[in-house]
A and B are shown apart, each in its own frame.
Chain A
């Protein structure tokens, strides 16, 4: 088979492609069993679910659970809080590892590079229960490390990071990035490792300096994977990180810090209202799907790139 024939052959082309279809079979079956079958459980969103009656026996309540989502006085506020926090987290969670990977890429000493890589990925392994306690100490208005530093170096009056709504959001985003950027960097490092070195060689021949090389080769090469990760993250726009918020928030910042998941936890999980929980989950999925489809289209139309 020559090159031309290989490219122009279209249609199902079973003779050539049966292998490709065969390769898909195991994953398709696994997903069917472990994702699609349990997905039938979304019908709980339309039920007044009682564990002892099961999915088959619980009472149908139509859209009641969904009415409840927006029937609460503060539900719009909560959704808004979630979107704001989530959007900042997604943005910062992309930019910081991206830049960090570029900086690390400029380091020539391999041992130093690997050490830094390993150290920054440590916080990922600590749960928010632990980090929450540590953060409360570090950020204390009353002799906390951060406020002492700010006061001694910049003469700033103590900031109530966890007790003031806006500072709380700031703290949540920064501490999230601090915990996860090292882990997030790994993907970018793998991308960097995959860039064809001949491109750099050609650039050197053309007289491009490091900065030019970064601007014209490295960054464009990293863009696709960045867009992919960003798009997929959009699917979770209504998940702003339950564990983190739950371990940091308090009554002073409910107005700006209460998110969908903590709200559902208090109203549904604690009271055992599984139907309501499922309804909220479905709502989150639909919004997430909507955003993913839009950004998929946008990437395709503007950048002519298929994300997946």
Chain B
């Protein structure tokens, strides 16, 4: 009896093991096919891929389906009864274009959830969506998978003139995704200069202490000294700071410190050209040393909070919002959020943007945020990629810069991002029933013309009368501070340095980058807190180069040559 049982049980055990193992592994060998009704194929009949899909009155008939996956952040709000696959936008796409939008899965935004889910889904050989938007940095591995088509060719073939014109404003946006002359992903171009910084100052503090806004680092030091030592908030306590800053790991964060470095001629943590025109890593340029010395001095003198190396942007911003700090470098929108809250906490507080201060040699500089952050990949299995273009073209043609009297004159949908009260359009925050942004539901990356927005804001600030529906809307929904900041960043745009390395990780980058980064931030923090002499910067540069930095620089120069054809 014992023997029998043992035999039987071990047999069953191995059977289960083998079965599940096979199921787990073999799944990956056969190519995943798209689920029914997706892949851009029509529902109902099977249409050969090279044949155009039938349309009636500008919409697909019969209807077609496009599949997608996405993150759902806390900022995506819904009206009662609506959800991500059934809302004002999806109904519009169905009625106007004959396109059904289907989400294979959604994830929260936080904790790399999307990336994890995508990895799992691919590992399990689940079908990929027709179109997939990911962060540019994450696209490289996906392109390597060979599961996506030559998006550039599709773009050339199907994109509308308006879309092509917008893309032509930032031709370098394609560079990171070039593979053997093919453009493997479509960059989700964004407004340029939207994240360029200006200097926001507590104007009421300046006025109270009879100071002028600083234009140089030297003047800025004097202003900060006054902000720290002359009790600008009038509470008889020495509890104020000159400027807020984050030196945790990203020096070019949205509460910026890169501008201080820029004033000395180099921007850290990006790949930029040196005086000879060669590509180098900003953090190892000699100019950085001077700036580090200056920042250390500022920490010692209490101009900066002692814990800048611990603070992220939110933590730093608290100091400003609570009325304890006088200067913040940040993008055009920084006043709208979060700096504006200071007015509620400190009655009488006034914040005003000013141009970036110049260094001892008159230099100014800051890091650009690039032309885009997200890219669109198009699944090889998608038989009719024109479906996606039909949709995005429509938005570029009609929504992006809407015509007067057109479908999207005031916004996407009445009762969502605008409403009509007494025959007049009203926008956030005056919409009865509350503002809900339907652009959050858009499929893929929302359409954007790079030159719009910041330039428009600057023009309106310069006194231009809003004429087009777009200008009117911007004029109504922007703060004065944002417009002034826009004027400043447009005038200082020539000082903004692009990060020149945007390509796929090179071999050395893959192996050494984490270590190099850790070396850098550790060395800098030690200098800033006086745990190492300023001269140790030179040792850091040597060590950095020896630990793979030099090799990496070579590889990145090579890459730049291949994409730029220099």
Contact = CB atoms under 8 A, between A and B. Distances in A.
B13 interface: yes
Nearest to A49: B123
Contacts of A140: 307
Interface residues of A, number: 39
Nearest to A41: B24
Contacts of B144: 50
A60 to B, nearest CB: 14
A251 B309 contact: yes
Contacts of A55: 24-25, 28, 123
Interface string A24-61: 00000000110011001000000000111111110000
B236 to A, nearest CB: 15
Question: B249, B310, B518, B525: which has the most chain A beta carbons within 10 Å?
Answer: B310
A251 B524 contact: yes
Given A55-B123, A136-B315, A142 B305 contact: yes
Given A50-B145, A250-B248, A272-B141, A72 B515 contact: yes
A73 interface: yes
A233 B202 CA distance: 53
Interface string B175-195: 000000000000000000000
A272 B515 contact: no
A56 B25 contact: yes
B112 A32 contact: no
A195 interface: no
Contacts of A160: 306
A163 B529 contact: yes
Nearest to B145: A52
B28 A56 contact: yes
Interface in A54-87: 54-57, 72-74
Contacts of B122: 51-52
Contact of A143 (B17, B124, B239): B239
Contacts of A52: 122, 145-147
B514 interface: yes
Contacts of A133: 315
B29 A12 contact: no
Nearest to A258: B518
A140 B18 CA distance: 57
Nearest to B518: A254
A57 B29 contact: yes
Given A136-B310, A251-B521, A56 B119 contact: no
B248 A251 contact: yes
B25 A274 contact: no
B27 interface: yes
B293 interface: no
A37 B146 CA distance: 30
B49 interface: no
A37 B27 contact: no
Contacts of B440: none
Contacts of A240: none
Nearest to B123: A51
A33 B17 CA distance: 8
Given A74-B515, A252-B309, A32 B16 contact: yes
Contacts of A254: 518, 521-522
B476 interface: no
Nearest to B25: A56
Interface in A250-302: 250-252, 254-255, 258, 266-267, 269, 271-272, 274
A140 B305 CA distance: 10
A269 B510 CA distance: 12
Contacts of B26: 56
B309 A250 contact: yes
Contacts of B138: 272
Interface residues of B, number: 48
Given A250-B309, A272-B115, A32 B518 contact: no
Given A52-B145, A57-B29, A251-B249, A163 B2 contact: no
B343 interface: no
B314 to A, nearest CB: 9
A118 B238 CA distance: 41
A266 B514 contact: yes
A142 B302 CA distance: 10
Contacts of B306: 141-142, 160
A57 to B, nearest CB: 5
A53 B28 contact: yes
Interface in B19-35: 20-21, 24-29
Question: A54, A142, A162: which has the most chain B beta carbons within 10 Å?
Answer: A54
Contacts of B24: 37, 40, 55-56
Nearest to B2: A12
Contacts of B510: 271
B125 A54 contact: yes
A255 B125 contact: no
Contacts of A74: 515, 518
Contacts of A142: 305-307
Question: B16, B518, B521: which has the most chain A beta carbons within 10 Å?
Answer: B518
Given A51-B122, A266-B514, A272-B115, A250 B27 contact: no
Interface of B: 1-2, 13, 16-17, 20-21, 24-29, 112, 115, 118-120, 122-125, 138, 141, 144-147, 239, 248-249, 305-307, 309-310, 315, 505, 510, 514-515, 518, 521-522, 524-525, 529, 547
21 contacts: A37-B20, A37-B21, A50-B145, A52-B122, A52-B145, A54-B27, A54-B29, A54-B125, A55-B28, A56-B29, A136-B310, A140-B307, A142-B305, A163-B307, A163-B309, A250-B248, A251-B524, A252-B529, A255-B522, A271-B505, A274-B119
Given A57-B28, A142-B305, A267-B514, 14 more contacts: A14-B1, A32-B16, A33-B16, A37-B20, A51-B145, A52-B122, A54-B123, A73-B547, A160-B306, A163-B307, A163-B529, A271-B505, A272-B115, A272-B119
Task: List the 6 closest A-B pairs by CB distance, nearest first.
Answer: A54-B28, A56-B25, A51-B122, A52-B145, A251-B521, A251-B525
